[in-house]
Amino acid sequence: MSIIVLQLFIAGRTPRTEHAIATLRQLIELRLTGYPCELVIVDVLTDPQQAEERHILATPTLIKVAPLPQRRIIGDLADADGLLAALSLPSLPLA
Amino acid sequence: MEYVDLIPVLSAESDARLQAVANTSTDGMLIVDVDGRVRFVNPAAEGLLRRRAVDLIGQIFGLPIVISEAAEISLIQADGKLIATEMRTAAIVWERMPAQMIVLRDLTEQRRTQEALRDAEGFSRAILNSLTQHIAVLDESGTIILANDAWRQFAIENGDPQLTTTGVGANYFAVCAESRGENADEASDVLQGMRRVLQGEIPVFELEYPCNSPGEDRWFQLRAVPLHGQRRGLVISHMNITDQRRNAQDAAESAALREQLLARERELVAIGSLSSAERRPAGLAYVQRNDLPIRGSQFRLFQEYVASYTELLEMVVDERGFAVKNTDVPVRALASRLGALHASARDVVEIHLSSLRTCSVGAASSRQQAYLEEGRVLLLQLMGYLVAYYRDDLVG
């Protein structure tokens, strides 16, 4: 499988966004073990240009940039299984 | 017509009905397809995003994920401004395809209200913490649900450093009920008083009690009043009233001293009257050629004598407790000056009283007492020298 590129758009560092980032990192570490993975975090408050270029309408937005097809999800990012399903990513069972 | 042929018609009708409802909703509504692409936008959603429906339709908003009932997201408006919204979703069929209905509710006003409430709570707490009285709020079971800084500080400094018995969460009723030793009776009264206030039998319960620390005798006043509002409870305050009690005690002592002073004044005035012309002893009548009191006839001199006498009085009071007093010479000198003016006993009494009044103004009660006692001795001493002066004059 090619590299998995995830892009997370957040608005400032709040407990909620920190929690979303932690969930994603855990998901990459535990559920996508063995896949090359890249997580890019974009704060729309400090980098509004990127948000505009990608037509981001809300935060938090998570985009699976690669592999194609691109998927974009919005809302609660705390559910690992839901995320994997929504992003059409393979899910490895927890050891 | 077959049912299959009716499906597009029914579906279109269903979509139209949904659209009609959505267009009247004050909540923002978006319909996205399985790719998260916008298929429908109601006017409220246009307003929330500050974008026209024609610019949004076809754009990818994203697939909504909501774990519980609602998720909180921030919408990015066309001008880049962020707006907090609550997002709810429902799976629907739109244009005969599976889709997601996204309902967005603006949280700005709710946030503002919450912030105002937090500010108000913070303000109330700041006021509470600014008070020097030790204040705690108890619920109806006696559990401390709030305490101000003064309450906590006092508890920490007076035997409850971990706030285990007097901090938030502790039961104040139980603390009073379990109190043993010398404060047990007062604690029992306090418990009873608090319960009576809680039951509405009395509007307020107050108790003054000693609370001595190793280095200081202290008095406190406990006050329990009902908590006004929706919750039943009590507001307990402890106020340090040591100063008030000390002042009250001083005032009572001063009043008693003033009464003593007045009594002495009356006695001395009576003595002065006895020494007036009608009742004057024959020997003194000879030398007392001036019947008018000095205060009335030579006021400036009278003031000078009062000042001299006051100086002597201050001296004897300052030297109180020391065995040797060096007042003989100045008292004798004053007696001689008075004798030269043919002063009477009444004059001496008036000088003494005037001086006592001057000295006592603003003096502590202990010093006032000293003026009274030492003044009495000084007066007798001056009288004695004056009599000696006249006797010598008579003999001479």
Instruction: Give yes or no: residues B315 and B375 share one domain.
Output: yes
Instruction: Give yes or no: residues B69 and B32 share one domain.
Output: yes
Rounding to the nearest 10 degrees, give the CA dihedral for residues A10, B48, B108, A60.
-10
- In this predicted structure, what is the pLDDT of residue B215? 73
Please report, for chain A, the start and end positions of each structural domain, with discontinuous segments joined by +.
29-90
Query: Which of B104, B121, B128 lies closest to B29, judged by CA?
Result: B104
Please report residues of B whose CB lies closer than 8 A to that of A78.
Answer: 67
Instruction: Give yes or no: residues B265 and B160 share one domain.
Output: no
Cα–Cα distance, B101 to B116 (Å, whole number): 33
Q: What is the ipTM of this complex?
A: 0.88
Please report residues of A whose CB lies closer than 8 A to that of B35.
Answer: 71
Number of domains in chain B: 3
B80 Ramachandran zone, left/alpha/beta (phi>0; psi -120 to 50): left
Task: Indicate yes or no: CB of B74 within 8 angstroms of CB of A56.
Answer: no
Residue B157 belongs to a domain? yes
Helix (H, G, I), strand (E, B) or coil at A51: helix
Q: Please name the residue of chain A whose CA is at the shortest distance from the CA of residue B68.
A: A76
Please report residues of A whose CB lies closer than 8 A to that of B85.
Answer: 58
Long-range contacts from B66-74, C-beta under 8 angstroms, 24+ separation: B66/A75, B66/A76, B67/A76, B67/A78, B67/A79, B67/A82, B68/A76, B71/A75, B71/A76, B72/A16, B72/B107, B73/A58, B73/A59, B73/A60, B73/A74, B73/A75, B74/A11, B74/A58, B74/A59
CB atoms within 10 A of CB A37: 17
The tens digit of pLDDT for each residue in A44-74 reads: 999 889 888 989 999 999 999 988 888 999 9
Does B395 touch chain A if contact means CB atoms closer than 8 Å? no
What's the gap in Å between the CA of A33 and the closest CA on chain B?
Answer: 24
Instruction: Give yes or no: residues B334 and B385 share one domain.
Output: yes
The closest CB to that of B73, out of A51, A58, A78, belongs to: A58
- In this predicted structure, what is the pLDDT of residue B144? 93
Query: Which of B5, B111, B74 lies closest to A60, judged by CA?
Result: B74
Which of A56, A74, A76, A81 is the best residue to mutate to test the B interface, defined by the most B CB atoms within 10 Å of its own CB?
Answer: A74
Instruction: Give yes or no: residues B250 and B232 share one domain.
Output: no
Task: Indicate yes or no: CB of B82 within 8 angstroms of CB of A71.
Answer: no
Q: What predicted TM-score, i.e. pTM, was given to this entire model? A: 0.50
Q: Any idea what DSSP says for residue A60?
A: S
Residue B116 belongs to a domain? no
Instruction: Give yes or no: residues B250 and B350 share one domain.
Output: yes
Task: Indicate yes or no: CB of A71 within 8 angstroms of CB of B59.
Answer: no
- In this predicted structure, what is the pLDDT of residue B289? 47
Q: What's the average pLDDT block by block, 10 residues per block, for chain B (396 residues)? A: 58 82 88 92 92 91 84 90 91 89 91 87 86 91 92 86 86 88 82 93 90 77 89 90 85 79 70 52 45 74 90 86 73 89 85 87 82 87 87 71
Task: Indicate yes or no: CB of B65 within 8 angstroms of CB of A77.
Answer: yes
Task: Indicate yes or no: CB of B82 within 8 angstroms of CB of A83.
Answer: no
Residue B118 belongs to a domain? no
Check whether A80 has a pLDDT greater than 80: no
Instruction: Give yes or no: residues B271 and B388 share one domain.
Output: yes
Residue B63 belongs to a domain? yes
Task: Indicate yes or no: CB of B76 within 8 angstroms of CB of A79.
Answer: no
What's the gap in Å between the CA of A25 and the closest CA on chain B?
Answer: 18
Task: Indicate yes or no: CB of B64 within 8 angstroms of CB of A74.
Answer: yes
Which of A76, A77, A83 is the best residue to mutate to test the B interface, defined by the most B CB atoms within 10 Å of its own CB?
Answer: A76
- In this predicted structure, what is the pLDDT of residue B273? 60
The CA distances from residue B28 to B12, B106, B142, in Å, are 22, 8, 48
Residue B100 belongs to a domain? yes
Instruction: Give yes or no: residues B309 and B346 share one domain.
Output: yes
CATH number for B178: 3.30.450.20
Instruction: Give yes or no: residues B252 and B227 share one domain.
Output: no
Omega prior to A69 cis, within 30 of 0: yes
Instruction: Give yes or no: residues B139 and B186 share one domain.
Output: yes
Reading the block at residue B119, the tokens are 């500010």
Task: Indicate yes or no: CB of A57 within 8 angstroms of CB of B61.
Answer: yes
Cα–Cα distance, B57 to B45 (Å, whole number): 12
Q: Please name the residue of chain B whose CA is at the shortest distance from the CA of residue A79.
A: B67
Give the strand pairing for A4-10 and A37-43: parallel
Reading the block at residue B127, the tokens are 């006021």
pLDDT band at A94 (very low <50, low <70, confident <90, very high): very low
Instruction: Give yes or no: residues B178 and B82 share one domain.
Output: no
Reading the block at residue A24, the tokens are 């994603």
Task: Indicate yes or no: CB of A51 within 8 angstroms of CB of B76.
Answer: yes
The side-by-side arrangement of strands in the sheet containing A4-10 is: A37-43, A4-10, A61-66, A71-75, B63-65
**Final residue belonging to a domain, choices B216, B240, B264:** B240
What's the gap in Å between the CA of B126 and the closest CA on chain A?
Answer: 26
Instruction: Give yes or no: residues B286 and B390 share one domain.
Output: yes
- In this predicted structure, what is the pLDDT of residue B374? 86
Q: Please name the residue of chain B whose CA is at the shortest distance from the CA of residue A83.
A: B65
Residue B115 belongs to a domain? no
- Torsion B251-B257-B263-B264 (CA) sign: negative
**Final residue belonging to a domain, choices B210, B240, B270:** B240
B95 Ramachandran zone, left/alpha/beta (phi>0; psi -120 to 50): left
**Final residue belonging to a domain, choices B240, B271, B297:** B240
Tell me how many residue pairs between chain A and chain B have CB atoms under 8 A apart: 75
Which structural domain, as residue segments, surrounds residue B228?
Answer: 128-240
Which of B34, B51, B52, B63 is the best residue to mutate to test the A interface, defined by the most A CB atoms within 10 Å of its own CB?
Answer: B63
Query: 32-71 in B: which are within 8 Å (CB) of A?
Result: 35-36, 49, 56, 59-68, 71
